[in-house]
Chain A
Amino acid sequence: MTEEEQPKRVFAPDFLTELFRNPLDPGYADAAARKAVEGAPAGLRRWTTRGASTITLLVLGFLFVVAYQQTIADEPASTKARAALLQQVQSRRDQTTQLQQQADKLGDDVAKLRERELGGAAVAQLRDMEAATGLAPVKGDGARIKLGDGPTPINPVTGERNVVARVKDTDLQLATNALWSLGAEAITINGQRLTATSTIRQAGEAILVDFQPVTTPYEVIAIGPDDMAKDFRDGYAGKFFKELAAKYGMSFAASDVRGVTLPAATELKLRVAEPIPSPSAEASTSSSSSGSVSSSRSVSSSPSEGGR
């Protein structure tokens, strides 16, 4: 506290104590003391100071409103941007769906026209080829492999999630490769048809099949020989998954399926082969595509059937 009796001004030594004890600006007390000695200022001086304080209050109100408006304006800026982005995503998605529908319709038209023009054996051969490469939906019997993430507990100390029981891209790769080797002719993962150029990759926590995210539980359906499910269970992959299930609590099941329809692959990009404009191009195209489906056997003897 300032000692009032002393004529010399003494500044408080402990700023924080002083601040807590007497938060009022000491200037007010000084001014009051001065006023008591000299008397209140009168005339022009009094009106100037009063005007100044009025203007200050005006500025204060202005400042409060500006700050308020600024805060209000800042707040929705981020949400606005977010909403705009969401809308963009939505509209693009709608556009994609629309274009996909158009592409499907045009594809159907092309298939119909081709059937009419080619006729008979050529169409059958083409259909088999499409079924084998994943360009056409196929129907048949086969095996269904179900894989699911095990429990992923959070470590109470570190707060990290233990993800050892998660299905990894390599697990799906192992499953599909085992199915191919057991004679599968068409495979889907969660409805995504695999082709010769399909990729199964991990991207962070998600698994991408042909750049489309798939999530647990994973359902791998393959069309192939009747005893494929049993062979899968008894094979290396089946034993591996059984071990994983026992050790980490991942779910694994392999069963037979009858009469499933697997959709066509969304797109099959040709990387090396190019279509030849002449109608007699069939031979060269078929040779290049049969190279890419080397693992699949002759399609005509299979239970799968192509066609839209």
Chain B
Amino acid sequence: MIAVLALAAGVVLGIVFHPTVPAGLQPYLPIAVIAALDAVSGGVRAKLDGIFDDKQFVVSFISNVLVAALIVYLGDQLGVGGQLSTGVVVVLGVRIFGNVAAIRRHLFRA
């Protein structure tokens, strides 16, 4: 419940302040969103599994975002462009998919 409220509060804050993202950070935004989605889906699944852990959630979110950003940055510097971030998207996408499937099994028993 608190989690949902916090999420909603974050959304409201974003709408109210309407921040503009600096141009330098813009390439990292989509990857950060995917990392965040991964953390959320993992957290929800863990909650449903009954093994949710606050510390694990926080650490996994922060590390996911940082690693994803690092990989994008590295790809930029190496000159392979978006290809390294494709790897990030694939790995996190698979995880999101798997976790959402587990959530679905929990919710619908199917």
Contacts and interface: CB of A to CB of B under 8 A. Distances in A.
B6 A65 contact: no
A11 interface: no
Interface string B45-66: 1100111111111111110000
A55 B9 CA distance: 10
B33 A49 contact: no
B99 A24 contact: yes
Contact of B33 (A55, A56, A64): A64
B21 A70 contact: yes
Contact of B56 (A28, A54, A60, A62): A28
A65 B10 contact: yes
Given A54-B6, A61-B11, A31 B51 contact: yes
Contacts of B96: 23
B102 A24 contact: yes
B29 interface: yes
8 tightest A-B contacts by CB?
A61-B10, A65-B14, A23-B98, A32-B51, A31-B53, A49-B54, A57-B6, A53-B54
B11 A64 contact: yes
B13 A23 contact: no
* Range of interface residues on A (Cβ < 8 Å): 20 to 34
Interface string A8-32: 0000000000011011110111111
Contacts of B9: 58, 61
Interface of A: 19-20, 22-25, 27-32, 35, 49-50, 52-67, 69-70
Contacts of A24: 42, 45-46, 49, 98-99, 102
B58 A56 contact: yes
A60 B55 CA distance: 16
B70 interface: no
Nearest to A61: B10
Nearest to A30: B56
Q: Which of A22, A55, A57, A65 has the most CB of B within 10 A?
A: A57
Interface in B15-64: 15, 18-19, 21, 26, 29-30, 32-33, 36, 39-40, 42, 45-46, 49-62
B94 interface: yes
B66 to A, nearest CB: 13
Nearest to B13: A62
B13 A61 contact: yes
Given A57-B10, A70-B21, 4 more contacts: A54-B6, A56-B62, A64-B33, A67-B32
7 contacts: A23-B102, A55-B6, A56-B58, A56-B61, A60-B7, A60-B10, A66-B14
B54 to A, nearest CB: 4
Contact of B29 (A29, A32, A66): A66
Contact of B18 (A23, A27, A69): A69
A62 B60 contact: no
Contact of A57 (B7, B45, B49, B91): B7
B94 A61 contact: no
A73 to B, nearest CB: 8
